[in-house]
Structure 1
Amino acid sequence: LASNMLRITFPYLLLISLTAFAGSILNTYDKFAVPAFTPVLLNVSMILSAVYLSQHLETPIMALAWGVLIGGIVQLLFQIPFLIKIKKLPRLARGDHPSVKTLKKRMLPALFGVSVSQINLLIDTMIATVLVSGSVSWLYYSDRLLELPLALIGIALATVALAKLSKHFSNKDEKKFTRTINYALKIGLLLGAPACAGLVLLAEPLIITLFQYDKFDAFAAHMSALSLIAYGSGLLAFIVVKILAPVFLSRGDTRTPVKVGVIAMVSNVFLNIIFAYYFAHVGLAVATSISAVINASLLYYYLKKQSIYQFSNDLIKLFLKVLLASFIMVVFILNFSNDISFYLENSVWQRITSVAITIVASAVLYFACLRLLGIRMKQL
């Protein structure tokens, strides 16, 4: 069954690569909405296939495999009209253009440099296979919740920033180049700090609400929550890595992110071995978060050393204000959110309602505090 599903889904690798290529072209021309919306089409395709196509297949689960393939085709076709509109639809040609040769040289190092966090998460999973049964699942579920704010904040900012930074660097506009980095870090800080606090403080309520059904019991939820707390603690570092790595790439420097990435990855493996011995699967998550901090710190160190960028005074002031607003939000959550027993004893809709109210109320309080502290989005 698995091999048959793999045969059906395998072409998706080519389709998603072409889709990503098309998206990068659109991003270069400041058309960010289309690539950002495109992943939704895959989800829609899989849902529709699971609901409708599965009823007509001898093996219903195969519908998901077909959903992935159909989704890949739809994703690619969806972007073509927008490429035509800006007159940038790629055409087959010989690969001897100087830019193509440069791309070949830089592509693999660049991919490694921005993918260290994902590689570390993969290493976590591999090591977790030799730990107590259930460790892989606990890490997987906590990673799913980590990836949501990381994608919405870190990856989104990195995508926009890379296009802008490349343009400013090619135009030799150092002021706009620095301003773009500052703006990305400010937005990452503003949104990442409350998300980090939320993942840590609401780890168990979130896991219980989203995943505790059938065989996924209270123990599994608790163990997943522990690793989510460890992963969530490093969210800001993950976001900073996503923002700072493209700064080097926009300048054609692929060596520095790779060098830093190797150090972070080796640190992760070393810390994994130590922490997994004492803290099992939670130790793996802690090691990954620490390696993200090392990665972010070294990226900033080299930016400052090469006189490319250093934190501005207004960014530091913003950090202090965000810290205060986040502290107030944390106090609110600790005092007014429902305890774990509420989520264990009540229905799914009561869980969802409670989590939603807590998140919305915390967000409103956080941004109200920022406003009282004089922070305005237009002034960033």
Structure 2
Amino acid sequence: MSASLLKSSGVVGAMTLLSRVLGFVRDVLFASAFGAGAAMDAFLIALKIPNFGRRMFAEGAFSQAFVPVFAQARTTGSPEEARELVAVTMGTLAGVLSLITLAGCLAAPLLMWLFAPGFGTDPAKHALGTELLRWTFPYLMFISLTAMASGVLNSCGRFAVPAFTPVILNICLIAAAFIEAGSVHLLAYAVFVAGVLQFAFQLPSLWRLRLLPRPRWGWRHAKVRRIVGLMIPVMIGSSVAQISLLLDSALASFLGDGAVSWLYYADRLMEFPLGVFSIAIGTVILPALATQHATQSAGAFSQTLDWALRVLLLIGVPAALGLVLFAGPLVASLFGHGAFDERDVRMTMYALWAYGAGFMGFSLVKILVPGFYARQETRVPVRYAITALCCGMALSVTVFVSAKLFELPAAHAGLAAATATSAWINAGLLLRRLRQDRAYVPGPGWGAFGLRLVIGNLVLAALLLTLAGPLESWLAAGLADRAGRLAAVIAVAATAYFAALGIVGLRPRHFRRAEAV
């Protein structure tokens, strides 16, 4: 099982890596053309609002609720029952989302005020954000339908197409930036077009699996009601990190031009390894965990979680170290040119320090939450998520008030630190409960595995601190020199890390079976 999961994680990771690389190209173009000014702030808020719905509803609540129910229907029922579930779910989802999209477009000024209240002091900025939002909001409908199609494909073991789909958004935005550099309106149009194309891209794969029946309304269908019942608490739980990030953006909108953009660029850097590794692993294990729960394979369920945690730590801990210890060179190399000046680099670096410190918290949540949702248990993780959210919000408000009282120069980084703290609290509570429920029982050999990781990461940290050098040296270098130096450091650091792990005895065979170390 773990060999298959490792292969599937590799497929998802590779496709996600392609998407993230193109995402970086996109963000580099954004930074160069727009910097961190008012127009970019307005577009980013207009993009964040449908993305909030996407992550909370489509990739969060709906996917986590739909996949276990579909996996159960596919495992224990007939192919016709699976087709029936797809038909009524897609029809019902499309109907509800059409109404939400219409309401969102009509209420765009209110939404802009709600998510970026600081824009209210600048009527032109608020008006621009509202205009852009009316083009970006329909993306929520199309990407939610895409998420459902992806859930079906993932449950059938088809991971490549869903993992490649996000590439389409990046291609559309990159094309828009090239067609008319400096036009945030064209960026908003590109988001709309990307939503349509992403959904259409899934349909041939569903057709080949004979899982593309004619959609129809089915609100009273038993399994649709079951999905909705699971979605409501999951929606609250899945929204925690997103609400924290949006609260940061709302508070940052009061901190002047640039603060929203600094948080965005830092979050994008943190999201790169999160998407390539953490989300990829979580995406792959959910269908496996759901199937194992449906067949009452408690031992295999625990082993799958154990395998996922070990793979995550192997890759996630060095990624977190890189985000923190190499934050300045990363930001300078990727974004520090064109309209993105030295102050923007430093301010983004401060935010990345905070997000990097919370990277493993965010990652652990992505791995641990499927352990609850695969068992169709949603209330407990929601309670923990709300607890973590309240703690993070309290910290964010405290930071914001302190910044206003004492005129702190980098208050946005404090907002990022509050969000990171919230993720750690959530992850700790989830892990403790899985252990208490005996749903997760650590396999043998964790002590030796942990010691090897500590040694490997100490070597990596020492190397990064040595090679980073002063930020001024990176800012003074040309773009090509920065890129070459950054690539060389990453290559040397990765080689040294895995060489150190090999010297202390860690081998690929330790990840072939979930129970092995």
Asked whether the two chains share a fold, i.e. TM above 0.5, the reply is: yes
CA RMSD after TM alignment: 2.1
Matched-pair contact (CA < 8 Å) for 1:189–1:319? no
Map residues 61-140 of structure 1 onto 2, 5 A cutoff: 61-93=184-216, 94-131=218-255, 134-140=258-264
Alignment of 1:68-217 (within 5 A): 68-93=191-216, 94-131=218-255, 134-217=258-341
Stretch of structure 1 that moved more, 64-73 or 181-190 = 64-73
Relative to 1, partners in 2 of residues 1:97 and 1:176: Cα closer, same or farther, differing over 3 Å?
same
2:287 maps to amino acid:
A
Q: Is 2:146 the counterpart of 1:22?
A: no
Contact 1:338 1:354 in 2 (8 A): no
Residues 269-348 of structure 1 aligned to structure 2 (within 5 Å): 269-276=393-400, 277=402, 280-348=411-479
Residue by residue over 1:217-258, the C-alpha shift from the partner in whole angstroms, topping out at 9 and shown as x without a partner, is 222211221121111011111100111011101101110111
CA 1:115–1:150 in 2, change beyond 3 Å: closer, same or farther? farther
Indicate how the Cα distance of structure 1 residues 347 and 32 shifts in structure 2: closer, same or farther if over 3 A, else same: same
Query: 2:503 aligns to what?
Result: 372
Q: Name 1:230's counterpart in structure 2.
A: 354
Distance (Å, rounded) in 1 between the aligned partners of 2:417 and 2:273: 18
Whether the 8 Å CA contact 2:270–2:352 is kept in 1: the answer is yes
Residue 290 of structure 2 aligns to a residue whose secondary structure is: helix
Any conservation in 2 of the 1:237–1:296 contact (CA below 8 Å)?
Answer: yes
Measure, in 2, the Cα distance between the counterparts of 1:310 and 1:293: 21
Once the two structures are superposed, residues 72-115 of structure 1 have per-residue CA deviations (whole angstroms, 9 ceiling, x without a partner) of 22211211111111111143233322111110111132133233
CA, structure 1 residues 233+247, in 2 after alignment: closer, same or farther (shift >3 Å)?
same
Cα drift, residue 118 of structure 1: 2.1
Residues 300 and 310 in structure 1, CA contact (< 8 A), matched pair in contact too: no
Map of 1:45 onto structure 2 = 172
1:72 corresponds to which letter in structure 2? G
1:257-289 CA distances to partner (integer Å, 9 max, x unpaired)? 110000000010122233442662222222222
Task: Confirm or deny: 8 A CA contact 1:50 1:67 kept in the other structure.
Answer: no
In the other structure, the counterpart of 2:492 is 361
- Percent sequence identity is 38
State the aligned residue count.
376
Structure 2 counterpart of 1:262: 386
Q: Any conservation in 1 of the 2:329–2:468 contact (CA below 8 Å)?
A: no
CA contact (8 A) 1:321 1:373 kept: yes
The code of the aligned residue for 1:218 comes to E
CA distance in 1: counterparts of 2:464 and 2:176, whole angstroms: 40
1:96-143 CA distance string (max 9 Å, x none): 221111101111321332332222111122222334654333222211
Farther-moved stretch of structure 1 (7-16 vs 166-175): 7-16
> Which residue identity is paired with 1:309?
Y
Q: Is the 8 A contact 1:114 1:257 kept in 2?
A: no
Q: Deviations over 1:153-191 (max 9, x none)?
A: 221111111111101100111121111101111111111
Distance 2:382 2:374 in 1: 14
Separation in 2, partners of 1:242, 1:324: 26
SS, match of residue 271 in structure 1: helix
Q: Give the AA of the match of 1:300.
A: L
Bigger relative contact order (CA 8 A; separation at least 6): 2
* 1:19-52 superposed Cα distances (whole Å, 9 cap, x missing partner): 1110011011111111000111222223234434
C-alpha distance in 2, partners of 1:377/1:354? 30
Q: CA deviation at 1:60?
A: 5.5
**2-structure distance, mates of 1:4, 1:139:** 22
Contact between 1:116 and 1:265, CA under 8 Å: does it hold in 2?
yes
**Maintained 8 Å contact 2:337/2:479:** no
Structure 1: state its 5+ residue gaps: none
C-alpha spacing 1:122/1:348, structure 2 compared with 1 (3 Å):
same
Answer whether contact 2:252 2:259 (CA < 8 A) is retained: yes
Question: Can you give the 5+ residue segments of structure 2 that lack an aligned partner in the other structure?
Answer: 1-127, 512-517
Measured in 2, the distance between the counterparts of 1:8 and 1:273 equals: 31
Judged with a 3 Å threshold, the aligned counterparts in structure 2 of structure 1 residues 25 and 204 are, in CA distance, closer, same or farther, namely same
Secondary structure of residue in 2 paired with 1:319: helix
Partner SS, residue 148 of structure 1: helix
1:3 CA displacement: 4.8
